[in-house]
Amino acid sequence: MNKLAKLAMWSVGALLVLASPVLAQGGDQALISFSGAFGAGLVTFGAAAGIGKLAAGAFEGMARQPEKAGQIQTAMIIAAALIEGFTFFALVICMNS
């Protein structure tokens, strides 16, 4: 089993252990608050992974074709801005739910 799968498994396990006192506190409202926070965490994790893959691909492309580095960098910045915009929108939706 690779390191990412182990990390994900331990994270979900810790989340489930730590979530039980939170869910026992206030009935339905606690569950709604927890789901918004959990969604915000997923959105942030997904955006970070996406921007990481984007940057890795852009750097690899710049290393392979240095003459196209300016075009690749511009495209990377635009794509990262779009990812961040979607992330902020999703965070607002998660926190207002």
- For the chain, the domains span 27-95
Q: How much is the pLDDT for 55?
A: 93
As a CATH number, domain 27-95 is 1.20.20.10
Q: What pTM was estimated for this model as a whole?
A: 0.62
Structure confidence by residue, pLDDT tens digits, 20-39:
665 555 555 555 667 777 88
H-only helix segments in the chain? 3-25, 28-64, 69-95
Q: Which backbone phi and psi does 2 adopt, to 5 degrees? A: -80, 170
Structure-block tokens of residue 89: 């929108």
pLDDT, tens only, 12-23: 777 766 666 655
pLDDT for res 16: 67
